[in-house]
Structure 1
Amino acid sequence: MTTAARAAALHARAAQVSSAVELENRHGAHNYHSLPVVLTRGDGVYLFDEHGRRYLDMMSAYSAVSFGHSHPVLVAALTEQAGRLAITSRAFHTDRLGPFLETLCRVTGMARALPMNSGAEAVETAIKAARKWAYKVKRVPEGQAQIIVAEGNFAGRTTTIVGFSSEAQYRDGFGPFAPGFVHVPFGDAKALEAAITPNTAAFFVEPIQGEAGIIVPPAGYLKAVREICTRHNVLMICDEVQTGLGRTGRTLACDHEGVKPDGLMLGKALGGGLLPVSAFLAREDVMAQFTPGDHGSTFGGNPLAAAVGEAALQLLEREQLAQRAQEHGDYLMAQLAKLAHPAITDIRGKGLLIGVEIDPSFASARAVCEGLMSAGVLSKDTHDTVVRLAPPLVIEREQIDFAVQALGRVLRGLSATTPVRRETASA
């Protein structure tokens, strides 16, 4: 499709959705550059727009919809609990929090969990835990604790978190930032060891960097990190907000190398695609640093979130979704490789977290995602050159085939400057 034809098609689509989009643009902050589609309903791996058109969801809200849209088991858990008791705050005990925490600790192999809401809150909780552990247990001088982070990290949007990002746009205009963070290259265990000092409290690391473009570290990296952190008495804290709960083909992405962290952040999929639910989990001596009044959240650990979170964890195990992600991810990678299109310069990932690198001299990843949208597939570009393919873990092979075939048509259409054929049926 030519640039002019693509622009005309996008203009026509924008006109169809102008009413809803106009309201957003008029009354909302302009902090997103959304594709021109207005979604009204979801069912399993599919999303539907206001005109009834069906799209295959190959993004699953950055892993928040790992179980698919409106999974009946999770909707039932939500509805039943909402009819009984939704919110009380942690000022009181409820019958739902204990079972949720027990299941969460059992599934992850961690000792204790502190429930929050967003993934960023889980990371902020981990920062507080690591620092206090450093002062009270490791005996780092007060105010001197340092946390090492990897370049290319993405952990959320709070001012503390963007302060240790290496992405210029995430930081621009939001300083001054909190001190105490040191950067090292991702995937370089020697650089990590060289950066450690007696004041180092922890190393925060994503087992696979999602927002950086689905960057997979060298084999053995996490195992080397674990050994280095143990030897230097530094906490290894893994950010698995995007990679956790089956997404990469294991319950946790660090399970691929048999590594157990000292602390762990979870979110997104923990809410079953229905609610924001997150948690910081850690070993006993780390979590023991929190005492009443040190930390809290009005909504963290509420009975509604606990009921949905527990149901999501049970569903993960019962339907063997991690194994399913491994098998279907291998299949997706193989089918993508068969495209053998010159615009694709790399295909990388684990399980159902895959990035397709697009040669920018051929087309932008945004243009590819726009073409996929016209072909009935929704995804999101990251860092201008990568198309993210991370569908709900309940996806079937024929749906994977549809997505890969759509990508092939889009790439051929862009290279041949011919319209991309749409093959989805209206619902």
Structure 2
Amino acid sequence: MTELERVQQLMDKYAARNYAPLPVNIVEAQGCWVWTEPGRQDAHKYLDCLSSYGALNQGYNHPRIVGAALRQIATGVTVTSRAFLNSPMADLCQLLSQVCGKEKVLLMNTGAEAVESAIKVARKWGYKVKGVADNQAKIIISADNFHGRTIAIVGFSTEAQYRDGFGPFAPGFEIIPYGDIKALKNAIDENTVAFMTEPGQGEAGVIFPPEGFLKQAYNVCKDNNVLFIADCIQSGFGRTGKMFACDWENVTPDMYILAKAMGGGYPISAVVADDNVMSVLKPGDHGSTFGGNPFCSAVALEAIKVVIDEKLPENSQKMGQYFLEELRKIKSPYVKEYRGKGLWIGIELTEKAGGARRFCEKLQKEHHILCKETHHHIIRIAPPLIITKQEVDWAITGFKAVLSA
């Protein structure tokens, strides 16, 4: 029995079946590459074009991030709870404040937790600052969103599978078409406290709003005393070719929601806003045992510095543009559209293609390229932002073979 077969048997017997992974068991990794057997032989080497849904912008096993993790482990202090202070958290809050141009940081553990935290802060701001009547706060959400998997979040999802069997859901949300400024204006009323949207939708298939929408939406929110909340969990820290996807329109939201690449491979998330918003939280209002723990804070501090120091947003823009240009040269009867921004690319397939899963399986089995389908008919590409032109060229050879066959 191979190790892959052993792992598959154990997963089939003991693990909840809420994922349908490709038959790949990753045991070692470096940079943009992973291996399915120890020893790092070419026969077991794969190019990762998913990077954990954008959580590994810095690549696997980055020496600076590994060093930060080992140094913090060596102190013996990995979690202290928020009953006490810790230096890495303080330093991380300062760095995030500077990077985002905001005054206050709320640290949590996962993207979904950060979204839930943002909802709580926005509602409390609406009641305590804006003056919305109790229990009447409304948050406007974009259709085709993916903000996480909690009950509140799936309650305002427009994906039927994410909602099926999980109700009843929390009230207080109104859904509008993505990128529709007229719909946003019409949805705002006296009870609206926030508009929360993704400046780029990854799960929906790497979709971006019409040019100018983010700036228009920000201005509409300002005119109506509504918070503009940008969920940058997937699109943040260089993924689209800018530090944050909102930067493409020079928009600084009232509230950032951050996670994934912020931790360089470790679980940490944040809500970042100015004090006039975040000050609605008082001791005891909100918390987390592991939120802001010194281990993940120390790692995230270094992970963000790597993004800045190594100019990963710039490489993302350069390599992403090249990747997309080369993909568009592939003439395929199965492709409806190639689209993307930075190293965040979607290949939308035609109906006759028969779904994206079979292409992802062929890329894995025959060409050692790892990526994942989304919404059945879209191949999503999101390699680490450290990828080189040589590695992109290697990937293009595989995509060409599969999409042209």
TM over 0.5: yes
Q: Which residue of 2 aligns with 1:281?
A: 272
Cα contact 2:144–2:159 (8 A) shared by 1: yes
* Superposed CA offset, 1:196-244 (max 9, x none): 0100010000001110111111100101101100001100000000000
**Aligned partner of 1:320 among 304, 311, 318:** 311
C-alpha separation between the residues in 1 aligned to 2:302 and 2:331? 41
Instruction: Please name the residue that 1:100 is paired with.
Output: 92
1:31 is matched with: 18
Which one of the candidate residues 49, 55, 62 is aligned to 1:71?
62
1:129-148, aligned counterparts within 5 Å? 129-148=121-140
Aligned pairs for 1:315-354 (under 5 A) are 315-354=306-345
Aligned partners of 2:331 and 2:404 also within 8 Å: no
Match of 2:169 in 1: 177
Determine the structure 2 residue equivalent to 1:61. 52
CA contact (8 A) 2:333 2:404 kept: no
* Within-5 A mapping of 1:195-210: 195-210=187-202
- For residues 348 and 394 of structure 2, what CA distance do their matches in structure 1 show? 19
Give the AA of the match of 1:410.
Answer: V
C-alpha separation between the residues in 1 aligned to 2:2 and 2:354? 24
CA distance in 1, matches of 2:396, 2:150: 36
TM-score (norm 2): 0.97
Per-residue deviation, residues 111-135 of structure 1 (Å, max 9, x unmatched): 2110000000000000000000000
User: Which of 169, 178, 185 does residue 186 from structure 1 map onto?
Assistant: 178
Which of 291, 299, 306 is equivalent to 2:290? 299
Q: Distance in 2 between matches of 1:25 and 1:77?
A: 36
- Partners of 2:88 and 2:385 lie apart in 1 by 26
* Inter-partner Cα distance in structure 2 for 1:238 and 1:324: 23
1:278-427 map, 5 Å: 278-374=269-365, 375-413=367-405
Measure, in 2, the Cα distance between the counterparts of 1:290 and 1:113: 12
Determine if the alignment matches structure 1 residue 18 to structure 2 residue 5: yes
Report the counterpart of residue 211 of structure 1 in structure 2. 203
Q: Please name the residue that 2:82 is paired with.
A: 90
Question: CA offset at residue 340 of structure 1?
Answer: 2.3
Alpha-carbon distance between aligned partners in 2 of 1:339 and 1:162, rounded to the nearest angstrom = 37
Give the counterpart letter for 1:221 in structure 2. F
Structure 2 counterparts to residues 245-260 of structure 1, below 5 A: 245-260=237-252
* Match of residue 147, structure 2, among 141, 144, 155: 155
1:48-97 Cα distance to aligned partner (Å, 9 max, x none): 11375000000000110110011111000001001111110110011211
What is the aligned counterpart of 1:47 among 34, 40, 51? 34
Residue number in structure 1 paired with 2:219: 227
Does 1:116 pair with 2:103?
no
Q: Distance in 2 between matches of 1:154 and 1:70?
A: 28
Rounded Cα–Cα distance in structure 2 between residues aligned with 1:358 and 1:19: 34
Give the whole-Å Cα distance in 2 for the aligned partners of 1:348 and 1:203.
26
- Residues 238/231 of structure 1: CA separation in 2 closer, same or farther (3 Å cut): same
Q: Which amino acid aligns with 1:49?
A: T
> How many aligned positions are there?
399
Equivalent residue letter for 2:61: S
Q: Secondary structure at the match of 1:339?
A: coil
**What is the distance in 2 between the residues matched to 1:162 and 1:341?**
35
Report the residue type matching 2:234 in the other structure. Answer: Q
How far apart in 1 are the matches of 2:302 and 2:136? 41
* Counterpart-to-counterpart distance in 1, 2:26 and 2:250: 40
Task: Give the whole-Å Cα distance in 1 for the aligned partners of 2:298 and 2:312.
Answer: 19
Report the CA distance between 1:362 and its aligned residue.
2.2
CA contact (8 A) 2:232 2:244 kept: yes
Q: Which residue of 2 aligns with 1:125?
A: 117
Using the alignment, how far apart are the partners of 1:411 and 1:325 within structure 2?
Answer: 24
- Among all aligned residue pairs of Structure 1 and Structure 2, give the percentage whose two residues are the same amino acid: 46
Determine the C-alpha separation between the residues in 2 that align with 1:333 and 1:174. Answer: 38
- Within 1, Cα distance between the matches of 2:262 and 2:135? 33
Provide the residue aligned with 2:253 in structure 1.
261
Secondary structure (helix, strand or coil) at the match of 1:17 reads helix
CA distance in 1, matches of 2:59, 2:311: 14
Contact 2:235 2:244 in 1 (8 A): yes
1:132-154 CA distance string (max 9 Å, x none)? 00000110000000000000000
Q: Which one-letter code corresponds to 1:212 in the other structure?
A: A
Q: CA RMSD in A?
A: 1.2
Q: Which residue identity does 1:377 align to in structure 2? A: I
The one-letter code sitting in structure 2 at the alignment partner of 1:331 is Y
CA contact (8 A) 1:59 1:389 kept: yes
The offset of 1:15, in angstroms, is 7.8
Structure 2: 5+ residue stretches without partners: none
Aligned to 2:234: 242
Tell me what 1:7 maps to.
none
CA displacement 1:276-329 (0-9 Å, x = unmatched) = 010011121110000100000000001111111110111111101111111111
* Unpaired segments ≥5 residues, structure 1: 1-13, 414-427
